[in-house]
Structure 1
Amino acid sequence: MSTPVQDFPPEAEDSCRDSDSASDSLSIANNDEGWEDVEPEEESQPVVGLFTADVYPDVRAMLKDTKERYNFDFVKVQRDLDLDFLGSVRLVNYLRSEIKKGNKEPSVSSTALFQDDIYLKPVLDDDTLLYSLDDLTDEVEVEDPDKSNEKRILELQEELERLKTQFSEYRLAVQKSIGEQLAGTSVNDNPAGSEIPKRGRIEEADADYFTSYSFNTIHETMLKDTVRTDAYRDFIYDNKGLFKDKVVLDVGCGTGILSMFCAKAGAKMVIAVDNSNIIQKARENIYKNGFEHVIRCVRGKIEEVSLPVPQVDIIVSEWMGYGLLFEAMLDSVLWARDHYLVPGGLMVPSHTTLRIAPYVDSDFVDSHVTFWKSVYGFDMSSMLENIHDEAIVTTTKPETVVGSSAVFLPLPLHTITVEELSFVKSFEVTLKEDIPGLDGWNIWFDTFFLPSPTFKFDENVEPSEIKKKGLIAFTTGPFGTETHWQQCVLLANHSGKEPTLLKKGQTIKGSVGYQKKEKGSRALDIEVLWDIDGNQQRQLWSLQ
C-alpha cells in the first residue's frame, strides 16, 4: 500500500510554474552556463549568517562566528556527510528553512533530512554562501596540523579494526550460506546474531531486476534504439498542447529522458519514479539541463512511494519487455493508472498489439539445434535436451515469415486490466508459400501513440498505416527497422519426426497463452497450440 499522499509545498509549485523567477537563482540558463561560470564581482561579498540575520563582511567571518557562537562547523558537516555540490546547496537551504521556521537547532544527523529537491530552491535571494560552496575549505581556518594528523591516524586505526571485523563476519556468513543458496534457501541469521530478513527466489529476482537497471549499458542500448526513443520524443513534441501546464507521471523513468521531453513540451510538473539507483543519475541529468524546478524525482516502487500530488493528467512509461510482457512492468503502470490518473487522462503509449506468424529458417535451426550433433567432430547431442523449451530473442529476416501475421492480443492501455495479461487467445494465419515444414513461430509487438483515450483504434491496424495518417507508431517485427526488443522465436519440437509439407494458401488455426512462470515472477511461460488439417500440436516455451 502507498503511504498517504502529501500536499506539494506551495513554494515548490510556484517554482514549477515559473522557472524563470528571479528567486530561482539555481536555475541553469539556456546558454548552459553553470555555477562554475558565476564569479563574485569583488574579492569578498557580504553574507547573511546561517543562524542569525546578521550580515558578515565575507563567508570566512560568518563561518567562524557560526562555529564559535553556535558550535556549528559547516565545513565539518559537509565532510562528515560526504556532500557533493548539490548536497551542500540542499544543506544551506535546509538550515535556512529550519531557522526561518523557528528551529534553532536543526538536525544534520543524516542527508535524508534534506534530500528533497525542494531544498535546491534558494531561501535567500542572491545567497552569497551558495556562490562560495566550492571554496569553503579554503575560507576556513586550518586546524593545527599535528593535532589533525594524530586525530586522523586514530580514526583510520578504528576504521581498520571495524573493517577487519566486518570482513571476518562476512567470510563466515558466505561459508555458511553457500550450501543453503545451492539448495534454494536464504540465510536468516548472521554470526553476530542479528536477524537478516529472509528473501525467497522471487524477491531475490525482483531485487536483481532493479539492480540490472542501475548500469549504463542497458540505458545506452535503449537510448540508442532510435525507433523507440524517437517515437516518444516525436509524440510528445508534436502534441505540446496535450502536455502544456499538465502534471505528468513517468513510471520507470531511467535516465530521465522521457521526463525531460515532457518538461520541454511545457508540462507544469513531471514526477519521475524509479526503484533503481539510476534515479540518482536522472536527478543529475535533470539538474544539468535546467529542469529541476519542473521534474521531481522519487525513488521507489510506484506501488509503495508517496507522490506529491493526488492525481496526474498523463502517464508516460516505456514498460515494454521482450515478447511485450516479459519483466511484468506493465502491472506497475496499470496500478499507477488506477490510483493516480485523472478520469479522461492520457496513457503514453495508448495501445500495443501482440502478433504471431509462422516461421521457417533452416539456417537458424542448423546453427542452434543441429550444431550440437557435431562440434569439432564430437557428438554433443546431450546438449539438445530441453533445447526447444526456451523462447529465443533474436533478429529474424523478413523472408522467414512464411505466412500472414495475426494479432492475438490487443492491449488498450486505458482499459486493460492486470488479470487480462494472463490469457489464452486464438489466432488464424495463412501460408503465403509452400514450405517443407514449420520450424516454429515468430512473435513481436506493435506500439501506438494516440492523442486521446477515446480515439478510434482498429486493433488489426499496422503501424505503417497509422503513420500515413500523421500519427506515431512503431513495430518491433521483422519488416521494420530493428529495435533492441528484436523478435521472440519459438522453435517447434517435432520429436524426431519429419515435419509435414505445407502448401501455399493453407490455413493454420491455433491459440497462444501467456502466463507468469509463478506468482510475482517477471518471467513468462508461452504456450502455443496449433492445428494443421486435424493434426494438433501443443508446446510450451519459457522466456526468462
Structure 2
Amino acid sequence: MSASIQQPQGRPVADEVLSDTDSTASDHLDLTNDEEWQDVEPDVESQPMVGLFSADVYPDVRSMLKASKEKYNFDLRKVIKELDLDFLGSIKLVNYIRSEVKAGNTKPDVSSRTLFEDDIYMKPVLEDDALLYSLEDLDDEPENAVEGKQSETDKERNAEKRVLELQEELERLRGQFSDYRLAVQRSMNERLLEDEGPSSSSTSEREVGKAADRIQEADSDYFTSYAYNAIHESMLKDAVRTDSYRDFIYENKHLFKDKVVLDVGCGTGILSMFCAKAGAKMVIAVDNSNIIEKARQIIYDNGFGDVIKCLRGKIEEVVLPVPQVDIIVSEWMGYCLLFEAMFDSVIWARDRYLAPDGLMVPSHATLRIAPLADPDFIASHISFWHDVYGFNMSSMLEGIHDEVLVRTTNPSTVAADSAVFLDLPLHTITTEELTFVKDFQVTLKEDIDALDGWVIWFDIFFMRSCTSKLPENAIPVQLKKEGFVAFTTGPDGPETHWQQGVLLINRGEKEPVPLKKGQVIKGKVGYRKKEEKSRLLDIEIQWDAEGAEKGDQKWSLQ
C-alpha cells in the first residue's frame, strides 16, 4: 500500500541477533524441527470449505459443490451461469444464500438476481469464507470430475485455456475489485458513523461495547479487502513503489546478509523474497488476510521455503519464532500516508521486536501540502451538476466537498511550491504523534482566479542506518542523485497507485477571491482518526492568505 547524501556509512546492524541466548536461538532457528514449515508445502485444491446449507466442512470446493447438488439439489455453477453473474454478483449470491440459511430458510429463492442486488450482500456472512476466494476458479472446475482423477490432457487443456484468458480476467477483476473495495469501505463508514444516541452513565458500558463491535467488524472488512488479487496486482505494478524497495534491498545486501527480517503485512511476499534473495538468514512474513495462503505457495514455488516463514494473524497477536529481529520491512503507506492506520501496527512491531540498533525499511517519510487552482477540474466535477442536459442536478453536490478525493493532479494546477508539514522518523515516532495539528506556509508562484482546494502527498526515504538523519526539506529526486533510494507520490513525480489527496474548498454561496503571485498563505493541518482505533481519517485545514482569503474546513478519507 505504499509510496524512498552520500552519508557516512552507518554502523552495521548487529550480527548477534539473540546476544547471549545462542542456545535458545539455535532451538528457534532449527528449521528441521519446526513443524510449521510444512505450511509451505503445496496444497492444491484442499482448502477447507463450509457447506452452503449446513455447518459441514468439506476438504475442497469440489466436494462442497457436489454435496450441495446431491443433498440439497442446488447447483451453484448452474445458478451463476443462468443468472449471468459476474464476480461481484457471485459474491452477493453466496452471501445471500448463507444469510437465508442462517435465518432458517434452506430453500432460498434464486430465481432472479434482483433478490440479492443490495450491497448488504457484499459483507461476508462467514468470516474468512473460503468459498468467496474460490469463486473466480469455479469455471475451471470440471463438473463431472472425480476427486484426484483429472487427466493430464484435461490439466493441459485447462492450463492453456487459463493462459489465453488470463489477461482478460485480470483486467476484469481489477475493475470488479475496485467496486468491491469501495462497497466494503462504504459499509465500514456507515457502521462507524452510525448514530448511537446520547450517552449516559447508565449505558456507557453498552455504548463502549457497541463501538468496539463496530471497530472489529470494520477491521475484518479491511483485511478481507486485501484477500483479492486485484489490489496486489495494482501495488506490484506500481514500479515506483516496488522498484524502490527492491533497489534498496539489493543495493545494500550487506545490511541483510545473515540477518533476521520481519515483513509486516507481507501480502504476496514480494518484499520477503527480496530480503531472502539479498541473503537474509530468516524472514518472518506476517499478514492477517487470506493472501497469506497464496504467499506461502508463491514462496515455496520460488525456492525460499527454507528461509521465509509465513504467519497468519495480526502482528500484535501472532507469536514470532525469535525474540527480536534485525530489520523490519513493511509497505504500510495509505492514501495521504496515514489512511488505513497500518503504521500503528508497524510501530507496535518496532517497539516489541526490533533490536536496539535495528533498521526500519523505509526509514523516513514526510507529508507535504500545496494549494490547488484548477478551474477545469471544478467545472467538470462541481459546476457540471448545475446543468446536465438542461436539467438542474445540484442535489448531487450534497457532501461532495466533505470527502478527500484520490486523484492524479496536473503539476500546472499546483499554485505554490509544497511545504512539509510533518516529518516521520520511523525509528522513533510514536502512535500518539500520528494525531496532530501542524503549521505550514506556502507562497503563490503565480496569479490565480481562485484557491480551489489543497493537495496532500507524501515522500518516502530509505536510509542505511537507524542513526541516519534526513536533511531538512529533503527532496527525493535530489537524494537519488546522491545515491540514496527515495520516491515521491507528488504531482511532479511518476504516477503511483496512491496518487494525491485532493481536498476541494466548499464556498457555499461565497464567491472566491483572486490571489496574486507572491502572496503568502499560512495555515494548519490536522490529522485525526474518525474514532479511536478506526482506520478512517479526518483531515482539517485552516488557512489565511494575508486576510484576503480565509477558511477552515474538515474532510474525511474513507
Counterpart in 2 of 1:348?
A: 361
Distance apart, 1:118 and its partner CA: 4.8
Q: Check the 8 A contact 1:359/1:441 in 2, yes or no.
A: yes
Q: Specify the SS of the correspondent of 1:116.
A: helix
Q: Structure 2 residue aligned with 1:431, among 433, 437, 444?
A: 444
Larger RCO (CA within 8 A; separation ≥ 6): 2
Cα-to-partner distance string for 1:238-296 (whole Å, 9 max, x where unaligned): 00000000000000000000000000000000000000000000000100010000000
| Corresponding residue of 1:71 | none
Q: 1:166 to 1:417 in 2, by over 3 A?
A: closer
- The offset of 1:396, in angstroms, is 0.5
TM-score, normalised on structure 2? 0.67
Q: CA deviation at 1:404?
A: 1.4
Match of 1:540 in 2: 554
Match of 2:490 in 1: 477
Contact persistence 2:28–2:322 (CA under 8 A) = no
Structure 2 residue corresponding to 1:234, chosen from 240, 247, 268? 247
What SS does structure 1 have at the residue aligned with 2:522?
strand
Q: CA deviation at 1:459?
A: 3.8
Q: Partner residue of 1:110? A: none
Instruction: Write the deviation string for residues 479-513 of structure 1: whole angstroms up to 9, x where unpaired.
Output: 00000000000001122222111111110000000
Q: Secondary structure at the match of 2:384?
A: helix
2:232 to 196, 212, 219: 219
3-state SS of the aligned residue for 1:508?
strand
* Contact 2:370–2:455 under 8 Å retained in 1: yes
1:413 is matched with 426
Contact 2:537 2:556 survives alignment (8 Å): yes
Among candidates 68, 71, 76, match of residue 160 of structure 1: 71
| SS of the residue 2:501 aligns to | strand
Change (3 A) 1:507 1:168: closer
Contact 2:519 2:546 in 1 (8 A): no
Whole-Å separation in 2 of the counterparts to 1:258 and 1:340? 18
- Secondary structure of the 2:448 match is coil
Q: What pairs up with 1:48-447 in 2 under 5 angstroms? A: 116-118=36-38, 160=71, 169-172=101-104, 200-447=213-460
Letter in 2 for 1:460: N
Q: 1:167 to 1:420 in 2, by over 3 A?
A: closer
Distance in 2 (alpha carbons) for counterparts of 1:238 and 1:226: 17
8 Å CA contact retained: 1:8, 1:309? no
CA drift of 1:376 comes to: 2.0
Write out per-residue CA displacement over residues 51-91 of structure 1, whole angstroms, 9 at most, x where no aligned residue. xxxxxxxxxxxxxxxxxxxxxxxxxxxxxxxxxxxxxxxxx
**Residues 323 and 445 of structure 1 are in contact (CA less than 8 Å); yes or no, is this contact kept in structure 2?**
yes
Amino acid at match of 1:329: M
| Whole-angstrom distance in 2 between the partners of 1:158 and 1:211 | 28
Counterparts of 1:368 and 1:258, CA distance in 2 = 38
The whole-number CA distance in structure 1 between the counterparts of 2:40 and 2:347 is: 32
Which shows bigger deviation, 527-536 or 203-212?
527-536
Q: What amino acid does structure 2 have at the position aligned with 1:160?
A: K
User: Within 2, Cα distance between the matches of 1:524 and 1:537?
Assistant: 20
Pair 1:507 & 2:520 matched: yes
User: Unpaired runs of 5+ in structure 2?
Assistant: 1-22, 46-62, 76-96, 109-114, 121-186, 197-208
Q: Call closer, same or farther: CA 1:307–1:452 in 2, change over 3 Å.
A: same
- Tell me the CA shift for residue 465 of structure 1: 1.0
Identity %: 64
Match of 1:453 among 434, 459, 466: 466
Aligned-partner SS, 1:352: strand
Normalised by the length of structure 1, the TM-score is 0.68
Once the two structures are superposed, residues 336-357 of structure 1 have per-residue CA deviations (whole angstroms, 9 ceiling, x without a partner) of: 0000000010000000000000
- Residue 457 of structure 1, CA deviation: 1.2
Q: For residues 167 and 255 of structure 1, what CA distance do their matches in structure 2 show?
A: 31
Task: Summarize deviations over 1:225-250 as a string: whole Å, max 9, x none.
Answer: 00000000000000000000000000
Tell me how far apart the structure 2 counterparts of residues 119 and 250 of structure 1 sit (CA, whole Å). 17
The answer to whether the Cα contact below 8 Å between 2:227 and 2:290 also exists between their aligned partners in 1 is yes
Q: How many angstroms apart in 2 are the aligned matches of 1:452 and 1:368?
A: 45
Q: Determine the C-alpha separation between the residues in 2 that align with 1:313 and 1:321.
A: 25
Q: Report the alpha carbon displacement of residue 172 of structure 1 after superposing the two structures with TM.
A: 4.0
Structure 1, residues 348-400: CA drift from partner, whole Å, max 9, x if none? 00000000001011111111111111122211101112211111000010101
Give CA deviations for 1:412-455 in whole Å, capped at 9, x if unaligned: 00000000000000000000001111001000000000000111
* Matched positions, count: 400
| Partner Cα distance (1:120, 1:532) in 2 | 59
Residue 537 of structure 2 contacts residue 557 of structure 2 at CA under 8 Å; is this kept in 1? yes
Cα distance in 2 between the residues matched to 1:492 and 1:422? 22
Aligned mates of 1:390, 1:250 — CA distance in 2: 32
User: Gaps spanning 5+ residues in structure 1: where?
Assistant: 1-6, 16-23, 25-96, 98-113, 122-129, 135-151, 187-196
The answer as to whether partners of 1:428 and 1:507 remain within 8 angstroms in 2 is yes
Contact 2:40 2:300 in 1 (8 A): no
Deviations 1:498-542 (A, max 9, x none): 211111111000000000011111110000000122353100000
State the alpha-carbon separation in 1 of the partners of residues 101 and 251 from structure 2. 58
Name the CA shift for 1:170/1:9 in 2 (closer, same or farther; >3 Å): farther
